[in-house]
């Protein structure tokens, strides 16, 4: 059975994302030197018009620059180089809006196009190249990876393509707890359940895992329990889902069923994409003439970390506080401590602060893990050193969050290394809506009925 899934994406649709990233002025071959030169001239001309005497000219120039999309961000002049206050303020506004659009575009559903017969290994490599979603194939033997499969994907949504490929190859999948990969395995080795209904659209995959009638504490009414799951594309970083029971409904024909706990609310972590979300939705059903199929739907929001950016600090020996800003995120290097000079190896400590202009997560103590982003030291010869597992965070008076990373076996001085912190430039909520018609019901076995 297939279900209909509606993702209320607004700017999150792929077509909009493409328009944002490319812009109408880039033409058929945006990478050609001629087109880039023409675009540079157009941007320079429009920037100059931001200081025009007529307001209509200034407004038209601002809107034209915004319409070009995030692809022109590298062509915008630095605000500090502009002498006109009006131009400086306008460029700052344009940059902020385009950086936000760029971050939102990273949440769009990825799609892939591939036609022909290829080995499974090559298909997966091409999926990764086109979508950015990676796989763990350690559980698949080499014979299966070398086996060829016929595929016909034309701008196919990621989840739709992977479900199709998994079915052909006899595979199941699960999320990796650490590496943001989709773990593929033979279906016989997986404890996967048969899904009653699946919907692949947007960046999320919703599935109905079970729907069953159970006796309640009294003879009437009966209990309808629908278990469903939500999974995001592996490349994404969903933080948590905010769910209210009252936003879900179940019905049969013209009869709407009553929620068992209408005031219940949940804030459920999605493990930053490392796990799928599973939840039970319970309804009361009249004992007489229970239905054989039901319609189930609902809506909720997922808090997403969007637009990951590498904040690179090359001068760790500088006594001054160094900061980097991109989009709505500002990262500042606050404290650097390396082993004493003369020691062959020792411990290092680096503390940074992170603050968002707007749309950042609330500072409740149980959410500080959201600031534990990817961070590492990199030596001049390319050696990468990851931090220790324990990361400390503390809220600062200016509203920022201080995050401390500790490194072991550090060799050399601060001048020998650079610190790289990969942080989302935007934290935003993505509304999700879904509706599954005609879900078949099963009666729970006598055992296992307890809630």
Question: What is the spatial distance between Cα 181 and Cα 106, in angstroms, rounded to a whole number?
Answer: 17
Per-residue pLDDT tens for 367-423? 666 778 889 999 888 889 999 987 888 888 777 889 999 999 898 888 889 999 998
The strand pairing partners of 439, in sequence order, are: 294
Per-residue pLDDT tens for 35-70? 778 899 999 999 999 999 999 999 999 999 999 999
| Predicted structure pTM score | 0.77
Task: Look at residue 23 and tell me whether its pLDDT is greater than 90.
Answer: no
Q: Cβ–Cβ contacts within 10 Å for residue 72, how many?
A: 22
Question: What is the spatial distance between Cα 243 and Cα 451, in angstroms, rounded to a whole number?
Answer: 20
Q: Give the per-residue pLDDT at 253.
A: 85
In order of their start, the domains of the chain are 4-105 (no CATH), 111-186 (3.55.50.30), 197-304 (2.60.40)
Among residues 337, 328, 336, 282, the alpha carbon closest in space to that of 309 is found at 328
Please check whether residue 297 is in contact with residue 436, taking contact to mean a CB–CB distance below 8 angstroms. Answer: yes
Q: Give the per-residue pLDDT at 361.
A: 52
**Among 80-84, 131-135, 176-180, 434-438, which is the least confidently predicted range?**
176-180
Average pLDDT, the chain: 83
Q: Give the per-residue pLDDT at 367.
A: 60
Question: What is the spatial distance between Cα 273 and Cα 178, in angstroms, rounded to a whole number?
Answer: 9
Per-residue pLDDT tens for 82-104? 999 999 999 999 998 998 899 89
What tokens were used for 407? 């490194």
Task: Look at residue 447 and tell me whether its pLDDT is greater than 80.
Answer: no
Task: Look at residue 143 and tell me whether its pLDDT is greater than 80.
Answer: yes
Map tokens 């050399």 to a residue.
412
- Of 195 and 357, the one with more pLDDT: 195
Q: Give the per-residue pLDDT at 31.
A: 56
Most distant CA pair in the chain: distance in Å? 83
Q: Give the per-residue pLDDT at 364.
A: 53
Q: Give the per-residue pLDDT at 290.
A: 78
The continuous run of DSSP H or E covering 275 comes out as none
* Polymer length of the chain: 451
Please check whether residue 403 is in contact with residue 368, taking contact to mean a CB–CB distance below 8 angstroms. Answer: no
Q: Give the per-residue pLDDT at 21.
A: 38
**Among 83-97, 143-157, 218-232, 291-305, which is the least confidently predicted range?**
218-232
- In sequence order, the 6+-apart residues with CB closer than 8 A to the CB of 195 are 207, 208, 209
Q: Give the per-residue pLDDT at 291.
A: 86
First to last CA, the chain: 27
Task: Look at residue 287 and tell me whether its pLDDT is greater than 80.
Answer: no
Q: Give the per-residue pLDDT at 413.
A: 85
Report how far Cα 145 is from the mean position of its chain's Cα atoms: 28
**Among 115-124, 223-232, 351-360, 412-421, which is the least confidently predicted range?**
351-360
- In this prediction, residue 191 has a pLDDT band, given cuts at 50, 70 and 90, of low
Please check whether residue 181 is in contact with residue 234, taking contact to mean a CB–CB distance below 8 angstroms. Answer: yes
- In this prediction, residue 12 has a pLDDT band, given cuts at 50, 70 and 90, of very low
CA atoms within 13 A on the CB side of 86: 14
- % residues pLDDT > 70 (the chain): 82
Kindly compute the dihedral angle of the four CA atoms of residues 436, 442, 444, 446, in this order, to the nearest 10 degrees: 180
DSSP per-residue letters across 117-155: EEEHHHHHHHHHHHH--EEE-TTS-HHHHHSEEEEEEEE
What does DSSP assign to residue 26? G
Per-residue pLDDT tens for 420-442? 999 888 888 898 899 999 999 88
- In this prediction, residue 328 has a pLDDT band, given cuts at 50, 70 and 90, of confident
Pairing of strands 148-157, 222-232: unpaired
- In sequence order, the 6+-apart residues with CB closer than 8 A to the CB of 354 are 329, 330, 331, 371, 373, 400, 401, 403, 423
What tokens were used for 114? 């591939």
Q: Give the per-residue pLDDT at 369.
A: 66
Task: Look at residue 123 and tell me whether its pLDDT is greater than 80.
Answer: yes
Question: What is the spatial distance between Cα 265 and Cα 164, in angstroms, rounded to a whole number?
Answer: 35
- Of 291 and 142, the one with more pLDDT: 142
CA of 310: how far to CAs of 106, 110, 365, in Å?
15, 22, 25
- In this prediction, residue 167 has a pLDDT band, given cuts at 50, 70 and 90, of very high
Among residues 359, 430, 420, the alpha carbon closest in space to that of 106 is found at 430
Q: Give the per-residue pLDDT at 222.
A: 82
**Among 22-31, 146-155, 221-230, which is the least confidently predicted range?**
22-31
Please check whether residue 112 is in contact with residue 156, taking contact to mean a CB–CB distance below 8 angstroms. Answer: yes
Task: Look at residue 28 and tell me whether its pLDDT is greater than 70.
Answer: no
Q: Is the N-terminal amide bond of 221 cis, ω within 30° of 0?
A: yes
């Amino acid at each position: 059975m297939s279900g209909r899934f509606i993702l209320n994406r607004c700017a999150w649709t792929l077509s909009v994302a493409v328009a944002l990233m490319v812009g109408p002025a880039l033409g058929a071959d945006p990478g050609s030197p001629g087109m880039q030169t023409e675009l540079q001239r157009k941007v320079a001309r429009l920037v100059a018009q931001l200081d025009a005497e007529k307001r209509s000219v200034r407004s038209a120039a601002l809107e034209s620059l915004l319409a070009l999309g995030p692809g022109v961000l590298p062509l915008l002049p630095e605000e500090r180089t502009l002498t006109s206050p009006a131009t400086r303020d306008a460029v700052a506004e344009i940059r902020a809006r385009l950086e936000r659009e760029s971050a939102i575009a990273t949440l769009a559903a990825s799609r892939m196009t591939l036609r022909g017969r290829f080995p499974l290994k090559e298909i997966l490599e091409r999926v990764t190249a086109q979508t950015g979603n990676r796989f763990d194939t350690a559980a698949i033997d080499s014979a299966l990876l070398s086996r060829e499969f016929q595929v016909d994907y034309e701008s196919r949504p990621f989840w739709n393509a992977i479900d199709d490929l998994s079915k052909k190859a006899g595979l199941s999948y699960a999320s990796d707890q650490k590496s943001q990969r989709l773990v593929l395995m033979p279906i016989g080795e997986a404890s996967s359940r048969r899904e009653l209904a699946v919907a692949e659209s947007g960046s999320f995959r919703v599935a109905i895992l079970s729907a069953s009638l159970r006796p309640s504490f009294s003879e009437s009414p009966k209990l309808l329990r629908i278990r469903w799951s939500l999974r995001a594309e592996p490349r994404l970083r969903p933080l948590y889902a905010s769910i209210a029971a009252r936003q879900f409904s179940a019905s049969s024909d013209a009869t709407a069923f009553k929620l068992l706990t209408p005031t219940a609310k949940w804030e459920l972590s999605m493990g930053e994409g490392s796990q799928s979300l599973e939840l039970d939705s319970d309804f009361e059903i009249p004992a007489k003439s229970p239905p054989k199929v039901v319609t189930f739907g609902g809506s909720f929001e997922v808090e997403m970390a969007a637009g990951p950016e590498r904040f690179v600090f090359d001068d760790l020996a500088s006594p001054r506080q160094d900061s980097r800003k991109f989009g709505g995120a500002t990262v500042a290097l606050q404290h650097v401590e390396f082993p004493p000079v003369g020691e062959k190896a020792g411990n290092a400590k680096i503390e940074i602060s992170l603050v968002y202009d707007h749309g950042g997560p609330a500072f409740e103590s149980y959410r500080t893990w959201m600031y534990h982003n990817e961070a590492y030291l990199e030596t001049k010869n390319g050696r990468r050193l990851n931090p220790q597992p324990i990361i400390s965070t503390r809220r600062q008076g200016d509203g920022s969050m201080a995050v401390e990373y500790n490194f072991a076996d550090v060799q050399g001085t601060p001048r020998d290394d650079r610190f790289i912190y990969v942080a989302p430039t935007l934290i935003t909520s993505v509304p999700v809506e879904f509706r599954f018609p005609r879900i078949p019901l099963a009666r729970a076995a006598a055992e296992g009925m307890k809630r």
